[in-house]
Amino acid sequence: MTQNSVHPADAGLVLPQYRRDDIDAHPPLLSPGYKSTVGRAPKQPLTYLPQRLTEITGPLLGEGRLGDLDHDLTRQHDGEPQGQRIIVHGRVRDGDGRPVPHTLVEIWQANAAGRYRHASDTWPAPLDPHFEGVGRALTDERGRYRFITVQPGAYPWRNHDNAWRPAHIHFSLFGRAFTQRLVTQMYFPGDPLFFQDPIFNSVRDPDARNRMVARYDHATTVPEWALAYEFDIVLRGRASTPFEGEDDDE
């Protein structure tokens, strides 16, 4: 998407609140409280581009693209990462409640100290040499996925005064073609930072916001080893999980 050379706030422009046209629960592409959307939200109505053969047929996403430890972020290095070990699991379903099998689910997250392994993340929190913060898995025939990772920490992000992102894990879901991708974030129950996070609060429907918060799952929690959280993802319909407009670094 092309951005104007003049920042909208400097030009005194009032931009339209363009939204996806399938459900109002998704956040608007322009959410002024989330400052980076002001510079990147579309200035004109969205135009849907046709999917041609190249977009539909490749690249291929499937079992052959997965490593043995892609789903377990705690075993991708020789040493153990720091932090509380957690299990994150759930189901991917369509708008009619049917499971979506064999779809690629990717996650990325900060480490237990709230820092990403990324060149632009330089705030003074320690990097963990035994944690990359990236995982991927395929749903099974019943639409189920499962990751083992560590509880991510909160981190500052300079969006507003004393701004801290709540602990979260980014989720990306691919369909059977590379252009069929949806991105969302999973939050943890009872986080005290929800009140001041414009990304979380850009989803204005409280019920939809709650669908981005995982459920603590004591039945799946493993004694003396890992806490468990359940996070189901619904792709369409009134109960759909809110998805982001673009890929975000935060």
**What are the residue numbers of the active site?**
116, 155, 165, 168, 170
Q: Which DSSP string do the residues of the chain spell out, in sequence order? A: ----SS-HHHHT--------SS-TTSPPS--TTSTHHHHHS-SS---PPPP-HHHHH-S--SGGG--TTTTBTTSSSSSPPSS-EEEEEEEEE-TTS-B-TT-EEEEE---TTS--SSTT--SSS---TT---EEEEE--TTSEEEEEEEPPPPEE--SSTT-EEPSEEEEEEE-SSTT-EEEEEEE-TT-TTGGG-HHHHTS--HHHHHTTB-EE-TTTPBTTTBEEEE--EE-SSTTPPP--SS----
Task: Give CA separation, 43 vs 3, 24, 32, 148, in Å.
Answer: 8, 19, 14, 41
**Neighbour tally for 50: CB within 10 Å:** 5
